[in-house]
Structure 1
Amino acid sequence: MNQLLPFLIPGRGARGYWVQITEGLETMFGWRDYPPDVAQQLGEALAAAPLLAADMTQAGRFNLQFQGEGPLKLLVTQIDAQLRLRGMAKHAPDAAGDFQALMKGGLLAAMIEPEGDGERYQAMVEVVGLALSEALQIYFGRSEQLQTLIRLSASEGKLAGLLVQRLPEGEGARSARAAGARSAAQPPALGGESGGEHVDPDHAAAGSGNVDNDNWEHVYTLMRTVTPDDLQKWSGEELLNRIFAEDEVRVFEPRPIELVCRCSDAQISAMLLGLGRDEVDSVLAEQGAVAINCEFCGRGYRYDPADVVALFAADAASGNDQATRH
């Protein structure tokens, strides 16, 4: 199951998200022969993306991107407001090692690309820390000025992550219960607990919303006990109840995540039509066929001369003579 679970710890002035991804991994990774250590970093980045993009409300895309000159050259994850997620990595043939070995000295960027004419947002920091989770925590501290704790885990069959943020002092407060939250220890009501609507817990903190340092230190201490094995073993509510056993944790309706690449035959065909017949014919003359691999999932697309003739003939018959568009 792929899902993002929002939650609130009202007594500690903190909120967060838990993520789990188990479906679609074979499709996303199956076409690409990533070295194990590269696959580990990509898996953690894929788990991080929904946590970082959970607050997106407008149509568009959130990109988390690493670029460096070491064994791992490029790592990109993309997710939209509907939580449709994909990712890819480019690496040296012998890429191996831990986070520092693969990514040290590179740059980590977070970008929001709204659809249409909306203003783009980008923040970039140098990669530091012993793990991607640490690098992202530092990013939040420098770029967003939000105290944030992140834990990530990636295995062959499951990606998981946990993010907890300190609510800004004075942030206020409609009642979380009025917003449709329930205790993590309370089973969901039959048919869903909030009428099927996604509830954003950002402004659902109970009480004054003021957070003292002792409360955040309490959260910090408990989060330090979370291991990758914990993320792999427990469901979201089980994990929250184990970590914050002495606190009230209010959970919100989970949101589904779709791990899927957006490449398709139709998309590749449109790209070839956009190149124009002369350009495609020159590739055929040189290589005998047009071969394209998706940079994200690695799926291959091949067009032989007969495929190209049929593609452009169908386009011309539909009234979209490609000679007029370049």
Structure 2
Amino acid sequence: MNLLIPFKFDNHIAHGAFVVIDTGAAEMLDMRAYDPAVRGLVAQTMAAMPLLATHTRFEGRINLQFQGERAIKLLVAQVVQREGAPLTVRAMAKAAPQIDGSYAELLSDGVLALMLEPADDAQPSRQAMVPIDGDSLSESLEGYFAQSEQLPTLVRLAAEGDRIAGFMLQRLPLEHTKATEEVWEHLAILAGTLSTNELLTAEPETLMRRLFANEDWQLYEAQPVNIACRCSREGISLLLLSLGRDEVDKIVAEQGKVEIICEFCGRDYVYSRSDAATLFVAEGSEQSQLKH
């Protein structure tokens, strides 16, 4: 089962979370023929997104997106957070064939950004740049929190086979804590000993006892995480309606149909000539009823 498990220290100096994913990720990753380096990076974004949701604590969607010109052309990871519902995560990448290289080489000549889109339309969306520094996505996210949020943060992400895992430890504002900066630095040193193998193989409670044996902390109720695409025929139909009948008719005239393949899950949505006509007839009927 895929879970996000938050924790907090009793002295309020820091909080964080573990994420463990062992179902659904391989199926989504297998939708595209990724080279190993690209596949590993996409997998790590799947682990990162629930951790980012823990930090923001709002209803809506968080996007982590990269656009470049060389190795990786596009990288998109999303998590949707709704009250009372599991977190839903999806991710994909478009890359040049047969590529390899370090993290910085894969994301060279491009921009990595984090976008927050609240479910409440009255709240503004936010966007911030994520520095492509260091040797990993973990270090980039740590840089984002240090620069944009002014919150020292330690992030670890790991992926091997069908299993993906993540860990985040974040200092809380000192004015709200019963501890000192020295206490935080001690926790960060302890957390820094966490190995990739431990993160992938040990249970979160075991890791907490191992890392913070002499500290007072609490694990909170785990939240389920779904690795799933949110695409649907209804959503695709709305997209076609937004294009307008003239544009859709033009596509049908050229190709004999409208075919849209979801970038995330690879699902193929096909609209025949009659399907497209029915779609706009139905819209016209609804608009007529609204006018009356």
Q: TM-score, normalised by structure 1?
A: 0.80
Q: 2:263 aligns with which of 290, 295, 309?
A: 295
Equivalent residues of 2:131, 2:143 under 8 A apart: no
Q: Does 1:262 align with 2:230?
A: yes
Secondary structure of the residue aligned to 2:139 is helix
Equivalent residues of 2:90, 2:229 under 8 A apart: yes
Secondary structure of the residue aligned to 2:16 is strand
Cα deviation code 1:161-186 (max 9, x no counterpart): 000012221214xxxxxxxxxxxxxx
Distance 1:167 1:312, change over 3 A: closer
CA distance in 1: counterparts of 2:13 and 2:57, whole angstroms = 23
2:94 paired residue number: 90
Equivalent residues of 1:99, 1:131 under 8 A apart: yes
The 5 A counterparts of 1:1-326 are 1-10=1-10, 13-82=13-82, 83-114=87-118, 115-172=120-177, 208=178, 210-213=179-182, 215-315=183-283, 318-320=285-287
CA distance in 1: counterparts of 2:150 and 2:67, whole angstroms = 23
CA distance in 2: counterparts of 1:159 and 1:53, whole angstroms = 17
> How many residues are matched?
284
Secondary structure of the residue aligned to 2:176 is coil
Cα deviation code 1:171-217 (max 9, x no counterpart): 14xxxxxxxxxxxxxxxxxxxxxxxxxxxxxxxxxxx2x3232x223
Q: What is the letter of the counterpart of residue 262 of structure 1? A: R
Structure 1 residue 313, shift from structure 2 partner: 4.7
Q: What is the letter of the counterpart of residue 133 of structure 2? A: V
Equivalent residues of 2:29, 2:43 under 8 A apart: no
Structure 1 residue 310, shift from structure 2 partner: 4.3
Q: What is the letter of the counterpart of residue 25 of structure 2? A: L
CA distance in 2: counterparts of 1:111 and 1:308, whole angstroms = 33
Q: What is the letter of the counterpart of residue 89 of structure 1? A: A
CA distance in 2: counterparts of 1:258 and 1:169, whole angstroms = 34
Report the aligned-residue RMSD: 2.2
Of 52-61 and 162-171, deviating more is: 52-61
Structure 1 residue 105, shift from structure 2 partner: 4.5
Of 263-272 and 301-310, deviating more is: 301-310
The structure that is helix-richer by fraction is 2
Distance 1:301 1:26, change over 3 A: farther
Distance 1:12 1:120, change over 3 A: closer
Structure 1 residue 221, shift from structure 2 partner: 2.1
Secondary structure of the residue aligned to 1:261 is coil
Distance 1:96 1:288, change over 3 A: farther
Q: What is the letter of the counterpart of residue 2 of structure 1? A: N
CA distance in 2: counterparts of 1:212 and 1:55, whole angstroms = 20
The structure that is strand-richer by fraction is 2
Structure 1 residue 128, shift from structure 2 partner: 0.5
Unaligned residue ranges in structure 1 (runs of 5+): 173-207
Structure 1 residue 230, shift from structure 2 partner: 1.3
Q: TM-score, normalised by structure 2?
A: 0.88
Equivalent residues of 2:12, 2:176 under 8 A apart: no
Unaligned residue ranges in structure 2 (runs of 5+): none
CA distance in 2: counterparts of 1:263 and 1:155, whole angstroms = 27
